[in-house]
Amino acid sequence: MSDKPRNIEDILNKLTNVKSAGQNKWIADCPVLGHSTPAKHLSIEDTGVKALVTCFPSGGHTYADICKALGYQTLNYSQSAAIENAHPVLVANYDYKDVDGNLLYQICRYTPKTFKVRRPDGSWGLGEVKPVLYHLDEIIIAKLHDEVVYVCEGEKDADTAFSRFGTPGTTNPFGAGKWKPEYSESLRGCKVVVIPDNDPPGQTHCMQVCMSLSGKAKSLKVWRVPAPFKDLTEWVEAGNE
């Protein structure tokens, strides 16, 4: 068994039916043999230093199963590649605003995938700033116009929801498992559709959000991204409507 692949191409070349699912993302047949259910699918994301892989449907093969099937002990790239890609590159700034549209803080996304919080004065971290929902000012307007608000897991998917459906997308800061009761208060009286990530943490997060919103949202629905896609952005970038 090899120690690790040289790069993402090493991994993709060992897979079958590989298809692009967006920037630095692919789907393919799961390489693990001996399925007792219809063939599972694999989601692959290149972070620059390692490949993130998820087998679908949920509850599929483990990371260790996939590494073994590909002939690797790990899907981290070689040490030289890791050094070359170790410097984070800023790829997006997500503005979090108050109800009047004033900037409270930004969440800065880097690749390899990391996040940092920056305040308007340029200092890092939240400091004394209270975290709020993404696009809070747009949520207020949507409530006034009785429009649907899409609750996603991450800012990128929230922005995708707005461009795809035409009404606000939102998310809580800092990812799955970080939902707070006050976020549900911000959505009180709203028509809400929750779009979870298609993985176990995403499903758990979805249940937490729905329980918190129960009795507060005007209406509450869940729309699940079809497998093998990991999230809303991956599904949209693959050409689905």
Which domains are seen in the chain, by residue range? 8-83 (no CATH), 132-237 (3.40.1360.10)
pLDDT for 84 equals 45
pLDDT for 231 equals 92
| Residue numbers in the chain where pLDDT is lower than 50 | 35-36, 80-85
pLDDT for 83 equals 42
pLDDT for 80 equals 47
pLDDT for 40 equals 57
Neighbours of 37 (CB within 10 A): 8
Task: Tell me which long-range contacts 52-59 makes (C-beta under 8 A, separation of at least 24).
Answer: 54/199, 54/230, 55/30, 56/198, 56/227, 56/228, 57/227, 58/198, 58/199, 58/200, 58/203, 59/200
pTM over 0.85: no
pLDDT for 87 equals 59
Neighbours of 237 (CB within 10 A): 16
pLDDT for 111 equals 73
